[in-house]
Amino acid sequence: MGRALNAAREEVALGNRILANEGVLDAFGHVSVRHPENSGRYLLSRSRSPELVEPSDVLEFDLDSNPVQPAKAGLYSERVIHGEIYKARPDVMAVVHHHSPAILPFCVSGIELVPVFHLGAPMGTKVPFWDQRDDFGDTNMLVVKPEEGASLARALGRNAMVLMRRHGATVVGTSVPDLCLRTIYACRNAEFQLQARMLGHVSMLSPGEVEKCAAIHKQPNVTTRTWEYWSMRLEKSGNGLPARKAVARAKRKPSGGKAKRKSSRR
């Protein structure tokens, strides 16, 4: 397995755990990344709660959302969300589907989500809606058929995010760190917009402000800074990747000589 593929699997696992730690994902939702060496494939965990995903859980899928190797574990039923977006958007390198409590009021009400502070700018000036009912009538609300995923991808269009009526949201990015930045701050933006509405007035960013703010947030040092911050918060929570925790424990473990001296004093 190549180094780039190993790194991508770890990023998918970290992205899942970070978004769970920040309250975006719970038992449901999932993060994927386009295969670093084959644009016709993507990486997504087996069906597992995001907070528990490990690199070894991350599998390869083709863009029809079929596993490249026979799967020995259950798979996410809504994986077509990822495959159909990667088909429609060659520029997209990472995708998350979530049901954040911050976003759901907008999905339920149909009230437009708009950028209201500078860190909300990466979600763009327009966040379209997709209503599964329009194309498919009454369903169980899960996006499980390729035609449903393709319909969602069309509603997303060239935007960074789409709200799914009475369901949740799907967000895209140029990398997993970029995806986490956009997703977390879109949720913060939703919280601030709702709070401002309760005060009586919402003042949104102008299209020019959105463009200029989003350009700043695309700078590598911004993405690195936020990724490091959320990774640190994840480690402090005790829910970091098991392999990383093992390395940290090994670094803290006293040397053999010190251990012997300590035991000889007992």
Domains and CATH numbers, the chain: 3-243 (3.40.225.10)
The rounded distance, in Å, linking the Cα atoms of 254 and 263 is 12
Q: Active site includes 37?
A: no
Q: Over the stretch 235-249, which tens digit does the pLDDT of each residue have? A: 999 999 997 655 555
Q: Which pLDDT belongs to residue 142?
A: 98
Q: Which pLDDT belongs to residue 198?
A: 96
pLDDT band at 95 (very low <50, low <70, confident <90, very high): very high
Number of Cβ within 10 Å of residue 22's Cβ equals: 18
Q: Which pLDDT belongs to residue 248?
A: 52
Query: Do 215 and 263 meet the contact criterion of CB atoms below 8 Å apart?
Result: no
The rounded distance, in Å, linking the Cα atoms of 208 and 218 is 16
* Planar angle of CA 8, 13, 19, nearest 5 degrees: 120
Mean pLDDT of 57-66: 98
Share of the chain above pLDDT 90, in %: 87
Of 11, 22, 54, 78, catalytic = 78
- 258 pLDDT exceeds 50? no
**Least trusted range by pLDDT, from 102-106, 117-121, 245-249:** 245-249
- Backbone φ, ψ for residue 12 (5° rounding): -60, -45
Phi-psi region at 166: left, alpha or beta (left = phi > 0; alpha = psi -120 to 50): left
Query: Do 113 and 190 meet the contact criterion of CB atoms below 8 Å apart?
Result: yes
Instruction: Give the SS3 label for residue 31.
Output: strand
